[in-house]
Amino acid sequence: MKRRPIVLSVNASWNIVNFRKELIAGLQGRGFDVVALAPEDGHTAQLDELGVPFRPIRIDSQSVSPLGDARLIAAYDAALREIGPALFLGYTIKPNIYGSLAAQRLGIPTINNVSGLGTAFIRGGLLGRIVTLLYRIAFRRSATVFFQNEEDLALFSDRKIVRSEQARLLPGSGIDIDYFRPRPRPDDTAFTFLFVGRLLWDKGIAEYVDAARAVRAIHPDVRFRMLGIVDAPNRTAVARAQVYDWETEGLIDYLPPRDDVRPFIAAADCIVLPSYREGLPRTLLEGAAMAKPLIATDVPGCRSVVTHGANGLLCRVRDAAALANAMEQMLAMPAEERAAMGAQGRARVAAEFGHHIVVDRYLEAVDAALAKVTPARATPSIASKGSL
């Protein structure tokens, strides 16, 4: 008898394509169909290449409208009733909360992944308290809630959002160290720092620019690159006009987002992430896998990847002067010392953050969740990908 499908829901199709391929392959290898429930974007067509039927759902990540959120719960309810999954896998805030609430009401086992806390937790206030309450309700029946660093797990436990038997640690989304492998650096004498990620103020973009201004006053040939999405759907997004001003001032070189970031990592001498808080930053893991030394802030998530003085440098958060000082230290190091840092970083990624570790832990959680389920109703028919 064919197994009922597993629904995987995220706030963007690109997230599934870029970060969940190995998990999808692992689930398919166990005989499950995987159905994607996400907003449509430029990566949606690639889901077909992964053998994943797609069901569109509208998720406005910025909206805090109660009416809009009620409509999202209703949309999840309708989609899950039609698909009839054996399990719901949720990622990012709204799928984790509203997808889980709908799955809970329908008796569908749920596994969640808290990949980062987001602006609500970083900035606190009323919104933070509301999100805490919603998480507590949504996660009360979850079979497993994965966290990507110990501090986030402890915070959710302390706030009684999750119980100890639910919470598990996961080393990010997993890195393919054969795909992210060292490459020869292009023959270019200019030392290059690289930031990769969404251009959000909470990622420390202001500090990165201010540090670039300070360092370039002493080392005018040093390059500072930023690769990522501007005007992102986030309340702390950096506007494209602001980035243009920095380019005009000669502080940074902006690079639009790419599906393949490896050539840009290869062309950099150091990967920088001055974020205010992270889950487990993939940009640092990718840089380390390609044997690049790292600079990051001493905050949850970043310090799970960077060991100060071993594979990179840590600096104080929200402190451009401290970041500039770390950059000066990196510039002053002999090339052999930076190469040794990069080698340590790659070895650590291979040992602790490989994608096979993530897939194995997910499969264990899936088996455990389904083992607790009593025999369910017959599988609803999924006639074709187009029917979803």
Same domain, 146 and 261: no
Rounded CA separation 207/299 (Å): 15
Q: Order of strands across the sheet with 253-255? A: 253-255, 223-227, 192-196, 270-273, 294-297, 312-315
Could you tell me the residue range of the domain that residue 147 belongs to? Answer: 6-174+354-387
Same domain, 257 and 364: no
Nearest residue to 46 via CA among 20, 76, 73: 20
335 and 240 assigned to the same domain: yes
- Compute the mean pLDDT over every residue in the chain, rounded to the nearest whole number: 91
CATH number at residue 51: 3.40.50.2000
In a domain, 36, yes or no: yes
Could you tell me the pTM of the whole model? Answer: 0.86
Q: Give me the pLDDT at residue 386, please.
A: 38
Give the span between the Cα atoms of 34 and 48, in whole angstroms.
11
For residue 316, give the DSSP letter.
-
Predicted confidence (pLDDT) at residue 376 exceeds the cutoff of 80: no
**Tens of pLDDT along 49-95?**
999 999 999 998 767 778 888 999 999 999 999 999 999 999 999 99
Sequence-distant (≥ 6) Cβ neighbours of residue 375 within 8 angstroms: none
Contact 285, 349 (CB under 8 A): yes
Evaluate whether residue 185 is within a structural domain.
no
- pLDDT-derived band of residue 378, with 50, 70 and 90 as boundaries? very low
Do 156 and 205 share a domain, yes or no? no
